Structure 1
Amino acid sequence: MDSTITMPYDSTTPTVDFSATSTRCATPVNSPPIHVLPLKELAAQKQPIRVELDACEDPKNMSLLHKWSIVTIISMSALCVTCNSGVAPFTESGIQREFKISPEVSILTISLFSEGLGIGPVLLGPLSEFYGRNLVYWSSYACFWISTFPVAFAHNAPVHLIFRFWGGFAGSAFLSVAGGSVSDLFTDASLSTPMAVYTLCPFIGPVLGPAISGAINQHLNWRWTYYVQLIWESAQLLCLIAFVPETHVPTLLRRKISQLRKAAGGPVYIDDSQMMQHGVLQAVVQSCVKPFQLVLHEQMILLLDLWNALILGILYLTFQAFPIIFERDHGYDMQSTGLTFLAIGLGMVISLATQPCWNWFEARKAAGHLDGVPPEFRLSMGKVGGILVPCALLIMAFTSPPSITPVLPILASILFGIGIIYVFTSTFTYLVAAYRPCAASALASNAAFRLTFAAVFPLFAKQMCTRLGTEGALGLLAGLTAVACPLPFIFAKVGERLRGKSRFAI
């Protein structure tokens, strides 16, 4: 590795070049001459030095093809993880018969996995700041893969359910760390599209899962659902190990510092700003406490988290509601019912296709602001999504009775999928823009709320649909989302004032 180190404390201090350690990157033609010091003399330098990555070492300077291949692999890995939550609904009848458990207990196969997804990011996220993205990816995905074996081959319900939780916990790294990898690769100006692609995958997983699981369980034993997942997970793990390099810049710098110290044969004094200031235990404790501090002290974060949690809870509630609407009331078989979930996925893909329009709209707005658009502008997409979600649920409520063609609730599901992505994309980008110093904690609190609701909602879905009917249940949910609909409009008006009073926001 080529290593260029500058000494910023004294402008007369020469740049120290370690080109002897490896092949150099191409040096720009207009670069000033470099005074090369022998490696042995570095140990005698008492003045702190600062290590920098060369142009060819910076992840942002990778080729566009290489960047997108990394984003694709990471996004597909996240898709595989969340798809694992969506495959469970159509396995419930199989595990009820084989393990002799009640329907209420069988629903835990969804809820425990979702709860693992919610808890994991708070603990696994900080580890990537100390050990790099790759070590967390490899270890967490390997544990996720291993946890699927007991789920697939379990001989009793406790083993099956316990490892469903641990599988969700291990796979959750791709809901917290993967976004950091995308930001490692792209500058702020080019981040929107790859981040939108990554954001889509964890949400399309829960609607792709039922389509896969419905087809499998229609013809095969429920265990084949997880056999297929194991094959997919094996392929993703191999791709992660073979094709995804380390992209975390502080980790790359620490590795470079370690190599230079070894090459120098003695102690090398490094600028304090490049050394780890806190231990990993302190970082994990802080990551557990900070999200709760934000929720308790920041009204905007609390309300936006509850809004997002309600919508994701409703998405997971469809795991129980769609079989009632399409399988029981309209006479669809299991495979056809699973395919109806793809309508929500189609809406999500359509929302991604509109991303260039939103990018153009944002660039046009930014042109009128010398200091860039305020964070509240990020809520524009959420305004549209906030209206689409209750409208879609209301249409589903009116068209769900067996006497009405099932095409209409399926079309309404497309609008629901568009609204979901608009709401989540808007909220995520706003939280990052408004709370940049503690963005990771803000997103962690959002994930914890969302996935807790996703774990709870399926538990009462059947009872609610039985007592209220599908029309009443969906109508109630439409009303709840309609109550939350004004949030992006309100915060677009008063958000700047609230941020001015906050000790966490910028």
Structure 2
Amino acid sequence: MDVETRPFAFDSKTRTPWSVNESWFDDNISCDGLDDLSNAQNWKLGKNEPFSFHGRIHALESGSESSFGDVVDFDGLDDPAKAQNWRPGKKWTMITVLALMTFISTLASTMFAPSVPSVMMEFRSTSTTLSTFVVSVYVLGNATGPLILAPLSELFGRAPVYHATNALYVICTAACALSANLSMLIVFRFFAGAMGAAVLSLGGGTITDLFIPEQRGTAMAVWSLGPLLGPVVGPVAGGFISSALGWRWIFWILTIASGVVTIAYYFFVPESYSPALLEKKASLLRERGNPYLRSKLASPLSRSATLYRAIVRPTQMLLFCPVVTLLSIFIAVVYGQLYLLYTTITFVFEEQYHFAYRTSGLAFLGLGVGMLLGAGIFGAVSDRTLKAKEKENGLKPEYRLPVMMYGIVIIPIGLVIYGWTAEKHVMWIAPIIGTAFVGAGMMATFAYLVDAFPLYSASAVAANTVLRSIAGAFLPLAGPRMYSSLGLGWGNSLLALIAVMLIPFPALLIIYGERLRKLSRFEFVLSSVK
């Protein structure tokens, strides 16, 4: 980060050793994920003297006009205060709690779907558009929430955002259960989706906080089971609950479950973001008498400028960083195909295989089994590949990409099996096996982003979540017309062809990913922030 040579002054309001005039501060962040702010050695002050660090609290000495305080850092690589050095049991407990809340959040996206006819009847509406929108509006909430929530986590830390959004999610879900009309239900479904998006967009960042790169593949695969299994289990559970207890109990059960997990967060999910941990350490030390102590990872910007930069970061990463753009398009199309598949499974197994209303949701379990197998296999293979390659050429995020190639090959195979066996009325287990292939292939697509952008992984995942949620909300709307025109066989063959056309995306990243990360840059220009 190149900062114009100017003296800095201690700002008593922010308790930092300097204040910055944002009108001359531009922050350029390389797409390799190594933000200059994460490397205080690169900060220039006064007459271009760099920071130098020595010992537990590193003294800053400058030959410039101003006198600067001490910089607070972790006590070496093995500091137990650093989240990556926590006990494995503590870290995996956190991942389990995160996965549970992620599962509940995505469960709600489809759990409500089987009860839509009952809701429309109760509220005396015959609009087919509203009957679709009352389901998809939740996914639209998933698309908007990350734009604000993920950046806030990189400003205030993960824990405050988790706790606030989880509590609001419980409230919004309870409001859905109490809805007096369709408009109220749609509004609170949207806000529940937006609050539930926090765990979707921050989970990858928390994994980056907790695990070294060689361990993230397995952790990412386990956590990814939540957002992928939730929509699979949702129709199964929703069908039984709606027919037995009524549609409002779907939301009451979600409220109770999310409330329990929200309480678990307070006990088992502490703050893990390194800048937040260092800021807390610096704050405690400042209270002991030295007001000039500051975190090594603290931003030199004012809080308003930092907040602005954090909020615009996911959008700028999506638009101006080719690595994020390519991977987000790739995952969005794959995710949209998964939701498009959801539109046919219930119909296929009720109409063609004569499954009862209550049991038709069980057909989704093929996807679930495939995802479980994919998480175990691809997560282990990804971590093993990373460790083997590290010995030869050092550690690179691109070593995750060959596993993604395996996944994108498996997905079209599963789509073809599902489509044509259902079209030809082959035994019911055959299309379920096809969906299992699709589920397994999905699990190979998520680990690369968090390794490519370690410090801002939450923003990178948020950018991806926005695009994939939009795809998940709108692509299924094309399903009924496509399948009525082409049939199940050719309709799913078309989806398979699209999946095959996606193969160049990870291939391009394998060949050019490292070069793109190092050469391309995107700017956060803060001249308008005062």
* Same fold (TM > 0.5): yes
Q: Give RMSD over aligned pairs.
A: 2.8
State the 1:209 CA deviation: 1.3
State the 1:159 CA deviation: 0.5
Q: Does structure 1 retain, via aligned residues, the 8 Å contact 2:323–2:517?
A: no
Alignment partner, residue 167 of structure 2: 142
CA distance in 1 between partners of 2:215 and 2:502 (Å): 31
Q: Does structure 2 retain, via aligned residues, the 8 Å contact 1:84–1:209?
A: yes
Alignment partner, residue 319 of structure 1: 342
CA distance in 2 between partners of 1:53 and 1:297 (Å): 33
Residue from 467, 481, 488 that aligns with 2:499: 481
Long gaps (5+) in structure 1: 1-7, 18-45
Specify whether residues 67 and 299 from structure 1 end up closer, same or farther in structure 2 by C-alpha distance, changes over 3 A only: closer
- Which moves more between the two structures, 170-179 or 60-69? 60-69
- Which moves more between the two structures, 135-144 or 308-317? 308-317
Alignment partner, residue 130 of structure 1: 155
Alignment partner, residue 344 of structure 1: 367
State the 1:438 CA deviation: 5.5
Alignment partner, residue 37 of structure 1: none
Alignment partner, residue 199 of structure 2: 174
Residue deviations 1:245-267, cap 9 Å, x none? 22223223322333333333xx5
Alignment partner, residue 384 of structure 1: 406
Specify whether residues 391 and 281 from structure 1 end up closer, same or farther in structure 2 by C-alpha distance, changes over 3 A only: farther
After TM superposition, list the pairs within 5 Å mapping 1:376-415 onto structure 2.
376-401=398-423, 403-415=425-437
Aligned residues: 461
TM, length-normalised to structure 2: 0.80
The one-letter code matched in structure 2 to 1:254 is E
Alignment partner of 1:96 is 2:120: yes
Alignment partner, residue 245 of structure 1: 270
Residue deviations 1:314-366, cap 9 Å, x none? 21223321121111222212222211111111111101221223322332233
CA distance in 2 between partners of 1:250 and 1:396 (Å): 47
Alignment partner, residue 35 of structure 1: none
Residue from 77, 84, 97 that aligns with 1:73: 97
Specify whether residues 478 and 188 from structure 1 end up closer, same or farther in structure 2 by C-alpha distance, changes over 3 A only: closer
- Which moves more between the two structures, 103-112 or 346-355? 103-112
Alignment partner, residue 441 of structure 2: 419
Residue deviations 1:67-99, cap 9 Å, x none? 211121111111111111121221211112112
Alignment partner, residue 459 of structure 1: 477
Specify whether residues 300 and 195 from structure 1 end up closer, same or farther in structure 2 by C-alpha distance, changes over 3 A only: closer
CA distance in 2 between partners of 1:109 and 1:134 (Å): 31
Specify whether residues 63 and 405 from structure 1 end up closer, same or farther in structure 2 by C-alpha distance, changes over 3 A only: same
State the 1:201 CA deviation: 1.7
Specify whether residues 498 and 139 from structure 1 end up closer, same or farther in structure 2 by C-alpha distance, changes over 3 A only: closer
CA distance in 2 between partners of 1:378 and 1:320 (Å): 31
State the 1:299 CA deviation: 4.4
CA distance in 1 between partners of 2:215 and 2:135 (Å): 36
Specify whether residues 280 and 167 from structure 1 end up closer, same or farther in structure 2 by C-alpha distance, changes over 3 A only: farther
Q: Does structure 2 retain, via aligned residues, the 8 Å contact 1:298–1:502?
A: yes
After TM superposition, list the pairs within 5 Å mapping 1:20-419 onto structure 2.
48-53=69-74, 55-101=79-125, 102-264=127-289, 267-271=290-294, 273-354=296-377, 355-369=379-393, 371-372=394-395, 374-401=396-423, 403-419=425-441
Residue from 420, 423, 446 that aligns with 2:464: 446
CA distance in 1 between partners of 2:109 and 2:365 (Å): 15
Identity %: 30
Alignment partner, residue 4 of structure 1: none
CA distance in 2 between partners of 1:193 and 1:295 (Å): 26
CA distance in 2 between partners of 1:438 and 1:64 (Å): 23
Long gaps (5+) in structure 2: 1-49, 59-66, 524-530
Specify whether residues 95 and 306 from structure 1 end up closer, same or farther in structure 2 by C-alpha distance, changes over 3 A only: same
Q: Does structure 2 retain, via aligned residues, the 8 Å contact 1:215–1:335?
A: yes
- Which moves more between the two structures, 175-184 or 449-458? 175-184
Alignment partner, residue 11 of structure 2: none
Q: Does structure 2 retain, via aligned residues, the 8 Å contact 1:216–1:224?
A: yes
Match of 1:359, SS state, is helix
CA distance in 1 between partners of 2:55 and 2:516 (Å): 48
State the 1:385 CA deviation: 0.9
State the 1:271 CA deviation: 4.3
Specify whether residues 52 and 298 from structure 1 end up closer, same or farther in structure 2 by C-alpha distance, changes over 3 A only: closer
CA distance in 1 between partners of 2:254 and 2:55 (Å): 56
- Which moves more between the two structures, 359-368 or 450-459? 359-368
Specify whether residues 299 and 96 from structure 1 end up closer, same or farther in structure 2 by C-alpha distance, changes over 3 A only: same
Q: Does structure 2 retain, via aligned residues, the 8 Å contact 1:214–1:339?
A: no
- Which moves more between the two structures, 492-501 or 91-100? 492-501
State the 1:50 CA deviation: 2.6
Specify whether residues 219 and 464 from structure 1 end up closer, same or farther in structure 2 by C-alpha distance, changes over 3 A only: farther
The one-letter code matched in structure 2 to 1:492 is I
The one-letter code matched in structure 2 to 1:348 is M
The one-letter code matched in structure 2 to 1:256 is K
Alignment partner, residue 30 of structure 1: none
TM, length-normalised to structure 1: 0.83
Specify whether residues 497 and 252 from structure 1 end up closer, same or farther in structure 2 by C-alpha distance, changes over 3 A only: closer
Match of 1:400, SS state, is helix
Residue deviations 1:219-247, cap 9 Å, x none? 33122211211111111111112222222
Specify whether residues 128 and 384 from structure 1 end up closer, same or farther in structure 2 by C-alpha distance, changes over 3 A only: same
Q: Does structure 2 retain, via aligned residues, the 8 Å contact 1:92–1:103?
A: no
Specify whether residues 315 and 287 from structure 1 end up closer, same or farther in structure 2 by C-alpha distance, changes over 3 A only: farther
CA distance in 1 between partners of 2:136 and 2:404 (Å): 27
Q: Does structure 1 retain, via aligned residues, the 8 Å contact 2:103–2:227?
A: yes
CA distance in 2 between partners of 1:205 and 1:15 (Å): 45
